[in-house]
Structure 1
């Protein structure tokens, strides 16, 4: 069982970003020393919140993260060119000594696609083709590609990743069609944080069946999931610590057409969040692990929550929950 941290590097407009990023470095050092396995950054452009970009941030964290995996959770792949992504990611993989995990997704915010001049309806095909091109580039051989979105005429990637044939690729998706596509590709499906338990478990079961049907075995397979985490003396105590902050963070999504975060908040609060006592959290992890999930990536930061509270959460999890799942 592996445990990671999702950095929530989104801040109120006008916040002191240099201070917040320095806090992030210290937070990652703390997470490293507590024995976590991975740390991930998020990706958005033109957000309502000040959102530093993940690849520069992860580059800064290379020397502060020990042996943890570093990754994107997720990178909106359709918004960039595969040559750009391939060389940027290979560079970070080199800098980290082969610790990078490429989490990707197709995106959903209209403002991003409009600003880049990309038709939103093409996002899935662009993501699929971009990944195929990147994988070709990472071979180090000349790439000739004539596709729907990209054309390359014998170009060769100047930087190759340490990990061969390339860094691990996890793919986010929030619907059965996307999950089935990921299964047919044999790639790990990164389950989202805000979905209810039965949805996550049911879709993981379907994904695994479709993956096996496509000819992929499960030896060393990764089944990752995002969850929001707050460990306290009880569920009520956890919500007293972070309930307002997590609701505030999810409330930011409403302006992007995701109004169910407001209309269905009580259900999300009750069934999607890992908030509670150490025994409560351990039981939730065991339940999800029994269903097949084996890499939990926890967010313990939310809009307006002091970093000291986030540190307390990850410390208590490492002290009182993590050892139950380690030899």
Structure 2
């Protein structure tokens, strides 16, 4: 089992220079602890928290990578971009990283971002699908012709292709059946989001398999995003997680993230998160991961080592502990294959 981290936001009260230093120290500590995927998300004009933009930041972080470590975005807000510019930016990044790029992409959930970019929020899923179609053409063809609903290109040459063939892997997140089927058609894998329980995922796997089979597409294990916190036992770990994560969960819910109810997050935080966070001492968390790996074909497992307000020393300590208690002991763990799934597979 491979493990990765999500490197996110920081309160705007933290200086940009300190924020950059924190990112660099996270990369160093994560690699030292055995993590092999380093990823960052994206937002624009975000309230209260700073998000460094992924493409330039990942290009900077690429200079710090060990040879076996991959880097990526989880996730880019795809529909806000023009596909030609994004395709060329990402192809450049794939070259800069020497073919180590992963492209996590989605629609986001903030209407104001679409308003600012003059993009139709209600058509974000159609925009995403056509964006991926155009980017794939730019990455894989010598000349591009495309006449779609949103983008129009007539026989133009391409000059910049990624190292990875036919393209860098595209990870698409989804929470409901329609999104899972979209991920199956247009991405290379479905990324399991941290708010989904394993039971919810198991209910959706059949739809994913059905869609991949319909288009005769290969199956690749699902990247699994999970929050993870260690303590003396699950209750202790849960309370320690609440100390660092509650404020951000309230912010997520306040801005309309799916599957999070603001009132419940504020009043019943512990009950609201305990079903989708890996909690306990090292042995207990390892057992939870083994259970997931025995039920679903997953990997890598991505965790968030830093919550806004944590300093670099706290983050480094978290990464060292998780590396020692989870990453190193489970490095040889293999999840089940698709042919071993207990989930009914549609004909």
**Number of the residue aligned with 2:336:** none
Displacement, 1:155?
Answer: 2.0
**Number of the residue aligned with 2:235:** 236
- SS of the residue 1:325 aligns to: coil
**Number of the residue aligned with 2:119:** 118
**1:293 paired residue among 298, 309, 312:** 298
**Number of the residue aligned with 2:324:** 319
8 Å CA contact 1:82–1:133 kept in 2: the answer is yes
Larger deviation: 62-71 or 192-201? 192-201
What is the alpha-carbon distance in structure 2 between the residues aligned to residue 194 and residue 15 of structure 1? 27
8 Å CA contact 1:196–1:268 kept in 2: the answer is no
What is the alpha-carbon distance in structure 1 between the residues aligned to residue 179 and residue 327 of structure 2? 32
**Number of the residue aligned with 1:279:** 283
Distance 1:294 1:94, change over 3 A: same
Larger deviation: 137-146 or 227-236? 227-236
**Number of the residue aligned with 1:4:** 4
8 Å CA contact 1:232–1:313 kept in 2: the answer is no
**1:306 paired residue among 311, 323, 327:** 311
**Number of the residue aligned with 1:142:** 143
**Number of the residue aligned with 1:268:** 272
8 Å CA contact 1:173–1:179 kept in 2: the answer is yes
- SS of the residue 2:226 aligns to: strand
Deviant stretches of 4+, over 4 Å: none
8 Å CA contact 1:232–1:277 kept in 2: the answer is yes
- SS of the residue 1:117 aligns to: coil
After superposition, what is the alpha-carbon deviation per residue over 1:120-143, rounded to whole angstroms, capped at 9, x for unaligned? 111111111111111111124110
Q: How many pairs does the alignment contain?
A: 324
**Number of the residue aligned with 1:55:** 55
8 Å CA contact 2:73–2:104 kept in 1: the answer is yes
TM-score w.r.t. structure 2 length?
0.88
8 Å CA contact 1:179–1:207 kept in 2: the answer is yes
8 Å CA contact 2:171–2:187 kept in 1: the answer is no
**Number of the residue aligned with 1:225:** 224
What is the alpha-carbon distance in structure 2 between the residues aligned to residue 172 and residue 15 of structure 1? 30
Unaligned 5+ segments in structure 2 are: 333-347
Distance 1:186 1:80, change over 3 A: closer
- SS of the residue 1:138 aligns to: helix
Larger deviation: 163-172 or 229-238? 229-238
What is the alpha-carbon distance in structure 2 between the residues aligned to residue 17 and residue 262 of structure 1? 32
TM-score w.r.t. structure 1 length?
0.93
- SS of the residue 1:74 aligns to: strand
**Number of the residue aligned with 2:213:** 212
Q: CA RMSD in A?
A: 1.8
8 Å CA contact 2:129–2:186 kept in 1: the answer is no
Give 1 or 2: higher helix fraction.
1
8 Å CA contact 2:132–2:186 kept in 1: the answer is no
